[in-house]
Amino acid sequence: MIVQHQISYVQSLSVLAMLQERDKAYKNLKKRGSLFAMGAPIYESVDSTKQPTEADLKMAERIVRSGGDSARALRQLNIKWKNLPGTEKELEQLKNLFFLKKYRSRIFKQADATEANLQRLNRSGLLAKYRYLVFSVHGYLSPQVPELSAIVLGQVNNPEGIDGYITAGEWAGYNLKSDLMVLSACETGLGDAVSGEGVMGLPYALYVAGNKNTILTLWSISDEVTVEFVTSFFKKLKAGVGQVEALTATKREFIKKGGDYSKPQYWAAFVLYGI
């Protein structure tokens, strides 16, 4: 399909109509910076990510369904996240692409890649001043409780009341004016299917926050390959290629590479919600 067609996804016809209106409005925005990126957070010092038990998942679901808050449910899951060295390489590549003053880029990593910092930047209105937003982090998918699906920021030295998870429910409280958000994380594109409105979860939550298009992933992706994929995609955007066209061209580029990179597992996970 991708060899012959350009593919993007929209949750429903009603969302399509709203995206078209948002596209018109955002074309009139002035003085936006090119790139805001956050990633390579500091996670726990573990060799591999510790997943929750079935008992923890059921308890977390009961907490949310009974009206409990998501932070308490996430504490119940007690997931341990390993650091992602490839994400820092990805941020460095993006910095090289958008380093010139005219692009007005901002990149936050390591100790600055925290939920507390993101909240502060949102309150100051900074997040609404960038065309492209990139988060190079872990992603958490919760099929049982879609409200807990989240991107995972720094997990150490967080102040009280900050858990490092930006859940689908929390994104609605952010103010974005972005043409595109790229979630360079695993399984961020999945959610709960709601009749008449398509896939709910992070894609829809980000739309509610004010974002237009979103690139997400459908399964766990290679840390190293993601660096190359995202860098190649943004090179095309910087050259003036449209988002759907740039994503399609990057996938076709990987197919032509031959060897392992041509396998769908390395490029097909990336999908674009939007127009």
Flag whether 13 is in a domain. Answer: no
Flag whether 68 is in a domain. Answer: yes
104-157 residue pLDDT tens = 889 999 999 999 999 999 999 999 999 999 999 888 877 777 778 888 999 998
Flag whether 55 is in a domain. Answer: yes
With a cut of 60, say whether residue 256 has pLDDT above it.
yes
Ordered alpha helix ranges (H), the chain: 13-26, 54-65, 70-77, 85-97, 115-123, 168-171, 202-209, 223-238, 243-257, 264-267
At 144 the pLDDT is 73
Mean pLDDT confidence for 94-104:
79
At 237 the pLDDT is 93
Looking at the structure of the chain, the number of domains it has is: 1
Flag whether 212 is in a domain. Answer: yes
Name the residue range of residue 167's domain: 32-218
Flag whether 224 is in a domain. Answer: no
Flag whether 202 is in a domain. Answer: yes
6-52 residue pLDDT tens = 988 888 888 899 999 999 999 989 888 899 999 999 998 777 777 78
Flag whether 8 is in a domain. Answer: no
Flag whether 193 is in a domain. Answer: yes
Global confidence as pTM: 0.87
